[in-house]
Amino acid sequence: MENVKQTEKKKKFKKVGAKGQWHWMGIAGFTYLCLWVAFLYFRLGWAFVKSIQDMSDFLLSGSSATAWPNKFSFAAYAKVLTVIKFDIRGYDGSVHTAYMFEMTLNAIIFSLINTFVNLIVTMCVAYVTARHDFWFNKVLVGFFYFQMLVPIIGTMSSSLKILKNLHLFDTWLGFVIQRFNFFGGLYFLIYRDMFKKLADSYADAAKIDGAGNWQVMIQICFPLVKSIFMMGAMTGLISSWNNYSAPLLYLPSHPTVSYGLFIFNNAKSGGDNAEFAYMPYKLAGFMLLLLPTTLFYLLFKEKMLGATSTGGLKE
C-alpha cells in the first residue's frame, strides 16, 4: 500500500516537474497573463468603484477619476434602471419613449431571433447536405465557401434599401427573414462535419422502426450534436445581448439594452438625460449591461469552454 502511495507521489512530482511545466515559455506566458488579468480586473474594478460613488461625493471631488469615494451608494443603479429613457423616431415618423423595460424585452427578442433562427437553419442545412445525397449539396456548400472567401464590401446600403422597399425595415419579421440563412461563422462546417461522422446505424435503426426523415433528423440526429448546439446557443445569446450595431441599423425603433446604453452614453449635460451625463451613472449603466452575460458565463462556463464532443459512435 505504501509502495502504491509512493509511486503516486512520484507520478505527481513527475507531472509538475515535467518538461514544459516551468520552461521559460511558461514563465514568460505566466507573467504576461498575470499582468493581463490584473489589468482586466483593474479596469472593471475601477468602473465598479466609480459607479457606486455617491453623486454628491463625486461632484465634491471635482469629478475626479482618481479620487477614492468617501461615500458609497447604489442610487445610480436604481436611477439607471427606473429613470433611463429616450425618445425614438420610427421609420414611419412616429415618436415614442423607450424605457428600460422595453429595452430589456427587445434585447431578449433580438437575442432569441438572432441566435436561434440562424442556428436552427444552419443545423438543418448542414444535416441535409451531410446525410442526404443530392447534387444540389455541392451548390449549397459552394455558396458557403464563396461567401466566406470572396469578400463583397459595401452591400449594407443595398440590404437596407431592399428591406425598406419590401416594408420589412425596422420590423421583427424583417429581422427574422434576414437571419434565415446558414451563412456567418464556421458553424455550418462544424455541424456538417459532425453529421457526416455520425454512424448510419442510428438512422437505419429508426427507419426500420418506421421513423420518417423528419423524425430521424429531429429525434435521432439533432440530440447527438446537442453539446455543440448548446455551445453555439450560449455564445450566440451572449454576443446578441452585447450587439448594439445591428439594432441600430436594422431595428432603430426597437432599442435593445446595449443600443440604449450606447445612446445613453452620448448623453450630454444639456439634453433630456442631462443628469445622466456624469460618469457614475454611465458606469452604473455599463455594469448593469455586463451583469447578465457575466452571470450566464459563470453558470455555464464549463459547457461553453468544453462542449466539443459528440454522442454516438464514430464510423
Partner 1 sequence: MSNYQASKAEGVATQATRPPIYPKRKRSGDARRARIKETIFYMCIVVPPMIQLSIFYIYVNFDAFFMSFQKYNAATNTFSWVGFSNYGTAIADLFVKGSWLNTSLIQTLLGYVLSYVWWPLDIIFAYYVYKKMPGWSFFKGMLYLPTVLSGMVLGLINKYLFDMLIPEIALSWFNVIVDPLIYSGGWRTWWFMFWWNGIVGIGGGLLLYCTMMNRIPETLTEYARLEGVGPLREFVTLTLPLIWGTVAINLVGGVADIFAVGGGTWFMYYGTGSTNPTSVGYYIYCLTLDSDGFAGYPMASACGMFFTFIAIPLTFFVRWITDKMDPKVQY
Instruction: Tell me which residues in 282-301 interact with partner 1 (CB under 8 A).
Output: 282-283, 286, 289-290, 293-294, 296-297, 301
Q: Does 86 bind partner 1 (CB under 8 A)?
A: no
Q: How many residues in the shown chain lie near partner 1 by CB under 8 A?
A: 85
DSSP character string of 249-285? HH-TTS--HHHHHHHHHT--TTSTTGGGGSHHHHHHH
* Smaller CB separation from partner 1, 2 or 212: 212
Q: How far is the CB of 291 from partner 1 (least distance, A)?
A: 10
- One-character DSSP codes across the chain: -HHHHHHHHHHHHHHHHSTTTSSHHHHHHHHHHHHHHHHHHHHHHHHHHHHTB-HHHHHHTTS-SSPPPSSB--HHHHHHHHH-EEEEE-TTS-EEEEEHHHHHHHHHHHHHIIIIIHHHHHHHHHHHHHHS--THHHHHHHHHHHHHHS---S-HHHHHHHHHHTT-TTSHHHHHHHH-SS-SSSHHHHHHHHHHHB-HHHHHHHHHTT--HHHIIIIIIHHHTHHHHHHHHHHHHHHHHH--HHHHHH-TTS--HHHHHHHHHT--TTSTTGGGGSHHHHHHHHHHHHHHHHHHHHHHHHHHHH-----S-B-
Shortest distance (Å) from residue 262 CB to partner 1: 6
Min dist CB 2 to partner 1, Å, is 29
Q: Does 92 bind partner 1 (CB under 8 A)?
A: no
Site for partner 1 in 218-257 (CB under 8 A): 235, 238, 241-242, 244-245, 249
- Which of 183, 202, 222, 278 is in the footprint of partner 1 by CB under 8 A? 183
The yes or no reply on residue 265 touching partner 1 (CB under 8 A) is: yes
171 lies in the binding site for partner 1 (CB under 8 A): no
The piece of 4-12, 81-89, 198-206, 279-287 that touches partner 1 (CB under 8 A) is: 279-287
Per-residue binder mask for partner 1 (CB under 8 A), 148-167, x = binder:
xxxxxxxxxxxxxxx-----
Judged by CB under 8 A, which stretch of 58-66, 93-101, 196-204, 218-226 contacts partner 1?
58-66
Stretch that binds partner 1, among 6-14, 95-103, 105-113, 133-141 (CB under 8 A): 133-141
Residue choice 55, 108, 112, 121 for contact with partner 1 (CB under 8 A) = 121
> Applying CB under 8 A, which part among 3-11, 18-26, 86-94, 98-106 lies near partner 1?
18-26
- Is residue 81 close enough to count as binding partner 1 by CB under 8 A? no
